[in-house]
Amino acid sequence: MAVSVAKQGYELGHGHDEHDHEEVIYQETRDMRLLGFVLFLCSDVVLFSSFIFAYIYLRTTVAPTWPPIMDGHQLPRLDTAFAAVNSVVLFGSGVTMHYAMEGWKHGNKGRFNLFMLFTIILGSGFLGGQAYEYAHAQIGGWSGSIFGASFFTLTGMHGFHVFVGVVYLAVLWWQTSRTNLYDTHRYFGLTAGTLYWHFVDVIWVALFFLFYLW
């Protein structure tokens, strides 16, 4: 009887030690993964900055008027009102992503699921609005003018990042409901998804100003 009790005590203590060891490993690797993810976002900032400065250079030095003239006619400005509505959709998804993350951290899985669903729907809605704008923009296409090439390159690159983000959030949402990868203390994947989503929001602020307001 004494041997059995001692064995159970050893197993409980051993299991507790393993849990503490896993927690220490998670804390150490979380900091490294966070640093790596931040560096990845910094590299994306460099990528977008390169294209943005190229666009600013073309706009300020190549064409005397903007939008430039093509076939003897000045190209029309983009539909700012439509883009503003589409921007509100994207920025709204940033708000819902914030509340989804807060719901998860506080153990409110129902709130997390609801706001994560809203985020994915709004992100997809933004992509749909962008596709509609591409189909109706009268700026000469990607190879038709400097303006068109700049617009489709930069907004297309951003749209690709939004698409990747929607897929990423959908995978995270599936993982939280089908696996035990995350709990209220260990949720780095969700943190990375939130940072990425806010990143695409910030990039769109710059693009909206460059193409629709400037």
* Predicted confidence (pLDDT) per residue in 175-208, tens digit: 998 878 888 888 999 999 999 999 999 999 999 9
What percent of the chain shows pLDDT beyond 90? 63
Where residue 86 falls among pLDDT bands split at 50, 70, 90? very high
Q: Is 141 helix (H, G, I), strand (E, B) or coil?
A: coil
Residue 11 clears pLDDT 80, i.e. is over it: no
Residue 70 clears pLDDT 90, i.e. is over it: no
Where residue 2 falls among pLDDT bands split at 50, 70, 90? very low
Residue type, 69: I
Rounded-to-integer distance, Cα 199 and Cα 16, Å = 39
Q: Which two tokens stand for residue 193?
A: 């998804």
List the Cα angle 22/26/29 in 5-degree steps: 135
Q: Which domains does the chain carry?
A: 2-213 (1.20.120.80)
What percent of the chain shows pLDDT beyond 70? 86
Rounded-to-integer distance, Cα 146 and Cα 133, Å = 18
CA-CA distances (angstroms) from residue 2 to 5, 6, 9, 99, 158?
5, 6, 11, 52, 67
Residue range 154-183: mean pLDDT, rounded: 94
Rounded-to-integer distance, Cα 157 and Cα 189, Å = 23
Q: In this predicted model, which residue has the larger pLDDT, 34 or 161?
A: 161
List the Cα angle 95/39/150 in 5-degree steps: 70
pLDDT at 139: 83
Q: In this predicted model, which residue has the larger pLDDT, 72 or 99?
A: 99
Where residue 75 falls among pLDDT bands split at 50, 70, 90? confident
Give the predicted TM-score (pTM) of the model: 0.86
Residue 111 and residue 96 in contact, taking contact as beta carbons nearer than 8 Å? no
Rounded-to-integer distance, Cα 38 and Cα 49, Å = 16
Alpha helix segments (H runs only) across 62-145: 80-105, 109-136
The predicted-structure confidence for 117-148, as pLDDT tens digits, reads as follows 999 999 999 999 999 999 998 887 776 678 98
State the average pLDDT for the chain.
87
Rounded-to-integer distance, Cα 23 and Cα 98, Å = 25
